[in-house]
Chain A
Amino acid sequence: SAVISQKPSRDICQRGTSLTIQCQVDSQVTMMFWYRQQPGQSLTLIATANQGSEATYESGFVIDKFPISRPNLTFSTLTVSNMSPEDSSIYLCSVAGGGGYGYTFGSGTRLTVV
């Protein structure tokens, strides 16, 4: 299965600033998923990033707030823009295994906005 390197592992940011999270995969993958887990909540899909096309955002998430880049088949970034304390969460990237089984995850970015 793929190995994902996610950075940064944690950060404390001032409200109104932006943070970019990076995920590097050790193999080429078509789709990358970006999830968020707010305190006490489920891991929730923010968007799906495909190389060469615009990311597909889930209901409640917009590109202006969470711009995503996918410059090639092994790399993606998620930016959390104009942060507020409500953005304090764990952010995870993920890729799917073959046949829709066995998803691999990054180690997460724990974001605290003060």
Chain B
Amino acid sequence: ILNVEQSPQSLHVQEGDSTNFTCSFPSSNFYALHWYRWETAKSPEALFVMTLNGDEKKKGRISATLNTKEGYSYLYIKGSQPEDSATYLCAESGGSQGNLIFGKGTKLSVKP
């Protein structure tokens, strides 16, 4: 059984702060690592899919890195804005049915 762990559980920052979250996952039989942004009452929005050790991806002020050998990924947000407030989910493609295995998420609140 895969265990995907995320930290911190929640985070409160001021507008303009930069922040980062951690996702750890079992490094054996790794296939792909996904990051999603989930706002209340909306669909989870795909941010990144990463497959190769050392992958770095960027989308605007948000970036992510991947270390498959040690089993972790970091998500960075530069200059946080109130609209960044959401739950950030990390998931690994490891389910027996081709499904995703999720962490519990990091809930980010950005105060103006």
Distance in Å from the Cβ of B101 to the closest Cβ of chain A?
8
Stretch in contact with the other chain, from B11-19, B69-77, B92-100: B92-100
Give the number of residues in B that approach A within 8 Å (Cβ atoms): 23
Distance in Å from the Cβ of B108 to the closest Cβ of chain A?
16
Residues of B contacting A: mostly? loop
Q: How many residues of A sit at the interface, in one of the four size bands?
A: 20 to 34
Task: Say whether B98 contacts A96, CB under 8 Å.
Answer: yes
Picked from A1, A45, A104, the residue with its CB within 8 Å of the CB of B95 is A45
- B39, closest chain A residue (CB): A107
Bound complex: CA A4 to CA B46 (Å): 14
Q: Does B49 sit within 8 A of A, measured CB to CB?
A: yes
Interface residues of B in 14-59 (CB under 8 A from A): 31-32, 34, 41-44, 46, 49, 51
In the bound complex, residues from chain A placing their C-beta under 8 Å from that of B97 are: 31, 33, 45, 48, 56, 58
Task: Say whether B43 contacts A103, CB under 8 Å.
Answer: no
Bound complex: CA A105 to CA B66 (Å): 23
Distance in Å from the Cβ of B51 to the closest Cβ of chain A?
8
Bound complex: CA A45 to CA B31 (Å): 18
Task: Say whether B34 contacts A103, CB under 8 Å.
Answer: yes
Bound complex: CA A31 to CA B95 (Å): 13
Bound complex: CA A1 to CA B46 (Å): 11
Which of B43, B51, B91, B102 lies at the interface centre, i.e. has the most chain A CB atoms within 10 A of its CB? B43
